[in-house]
Amino acid sequence: MNRMTENDAFFSELISHFAMDGAYVSCVRYGAGHINDTFCLTTEREGQQTRYILQRINHRLFKNVGELMHNIELVTAFCRESVLARGGDPSRECLQIVPTKTGESYYFDGTDYFRVYVFIEGATTYQSVRAPRDFYESAVAFGRFASLLAKFDASQLYEVLPDFHNTRVRYRNFLAAVEADVCGRAHEVEREITWVKEHSSLCGKIVDRIESGEIPLRVTHNDTKLNNVMLDDQTGEGIAVIDLDTVMPGSLCYDFGDSIRFGCNSGAEDEPDLTRVHFRFDLYETYLAGYLSAVGDGITETERRYLAMGAILMTYECGMRFLTDYLEGDVYFRTTRPGQNLDRAHTQFRMVDEMLSVYDRMLASATKPFHGKPRRR
């Protein structure tokens, strides 16, 4: 007979507060995420085992867990209704929150905050692209996510990370870091500082148009990496978007752009040798095709015109943030070696330069009539 360990006793008591069937079997660490603590939880009822995802929410980063979970509750509920309206399977295509026995979306034990999702079976997340099709399928998943939420009123959402993609604010923070020069590093990076200033006209390209109403306010995911997409184990298709902690009001161009920023770089994000860093236009077109096949009429013509600029802007913003962190002593982004944030900034700036050199081609690809096969359930 298996004896219950101290951890088992903790988790067994913890899940007693959630409205789930079955007795506790096991709970083991799961995945490669480093923001929240994630576990695969297994219960059993009448010989049938069920798996769940249990997470300890990082309330040091997300200061207001109530607002965070408010956003996730609204978005997942709307996604579920949209999937059902299209004849899809919400148990496979959206995250499903398991409420507490008092009807809340999370449980606070006096020290930490916990939540539970139903485990999406028969699908896997991957940390890196195995082949171009993975990148295409991640685009399909994020395009479908945008389509499912196209009619959602994004003003209902809290900004859990205020001004996250307000590039004007990011630029002001950068200038403040240059002025303060707390680590005495500014003289080492005068060329990089000048480059950021020379490209500062990019800052208002999207945020100004959101404020004017030219670009609509949308639900944005804000972490559109491959490892936040579930790929079906049998078909390889992107079926669901996960990790909704950063869903906030914003622009589709932000999500699209951030995918291009990390997915179309021929080198590593922190590659010291810039001869290995190039913008992969072929992968840009791959992602664009997948995204447009799934978003359908959930995107306006104006938004399509700014998809390419979104890629440039997100790359510029991220490089500026890496440089800001370098100036401030590498206090935000985790580093494993000296100069890593500066190398990260360099790769982003190289990508911006190369994207700007082919911007007309990027724009033409994004705005030409789409003739591919729609991928909408």
Domain boundaries, position 79: 6-121
Q: Determine contact, residues 27/40, Cβ cutoff 8 Å.
A: yes
Q: Does 278 have pLDDT greater than 60?
A: yes
Nearest CA among 17, 178, 10, 206 for reference residue 99? 17
**Are 247 and 288 part of one and the same domain?**
yes
Q: Determine contact, residues 52/41, Cβ cutoff 8 Å.
A: yes
Q: Does 1 have pLDDT greater than 70?
A: no
Dist. CA 252–CA 215, nearest whole Å: 9
**Are 142 and 290 part of one and the same domain?**
yes
**Are 269 and 210 part of one and the same domain?**
yes
Q: pLDDT-derived band of residue 377, with 50, 70 and 90 as boundaries?
A: low
Mean pLDDT to the nearest integer, 103-124: 96
Dist. CA 364–CA 345, nearest whole Å: 28
3-state secondary structure of 96: coil
Q: Does 32 have pLDDT greater than 80?
A: no
Number of H helices, E strands in the chain: 13, 11
Mean pLDDT to the nearest integer, 272-295: 96
What's residue 129's pLDDT?
81
Q: Does 374 have pLDDT greater than 80?
A: no
Q: Does 291 have pLDDT greater than 60?
A: yes
Mean pLDDT to the nearest integer, 53-72: 95
Element (H, E) at 232: strand 229-232
Mean pLDDT to the nearest integer, 36-62: 94
Mean pLDDT to the nearest integer, 237-258: 96
Q: What is the mean pLDDT of the chain?
A: 94
Mean pLDDT to the nearest integer, 171-198: 98
Dist. CA 314–CA 351, nearest whole Å: 11
What's residue 147's pLDDT?
97
**pLDDT, tens digit, 9 for 90 and up, residues 307-338:** 999 999 999 999 999 999 999 999 998 899 99
Q: pLDDT-derived band of residue 276, with 50, 70 and 90 as boundaries?
A: very high
Q: pLDDT-derived band of residue 204, with 50, 70 and 90 as boundaries?
A: very high
DSSP 87-105: T--HHHHS--EE-BTTS-S
Question: What total number of domains does the chain contain?
Answer: 2
Q: What is the CATH number of the domain that holds 23?
A: 3.30.200.20
Q: What is the CATH number of the domain that holds 333?
A: 3.90.1200.10
Q: Does 373 have pLDDT greater than 80?
A: no
What's residue 36's pLDDT?
92
Nearest CA among 265, 355, 350 for reference residue 310? 355
Sign of the dihedral defined by the CA atoms of residues 110, 115, 116, 122, in that order? negative
Q: What pTM value is reported for the model? A: 0.92
Mean pLDDT to the nearest integer, 331-358: 96
Q: Could you tell me if residue 374 is inside a domain?
A: no
Dist. CA 278–CA 355, nearest whole Å: 9
What's residue 3's pLDDT?
54
Q: Which of residues 101, 121, 141 is at a domain's end?
A: 121
**Are 282 and 159 part of one and the same domain?**
yes
**Are 103 and 178 part of one and the same domain?**
no
Lowest mean pLDDT among 23-32, 68-77, 141-150, 165-174: 23-32
SS3 content of the chain, % helix, strand, coil (to 5): 50, 15, 35
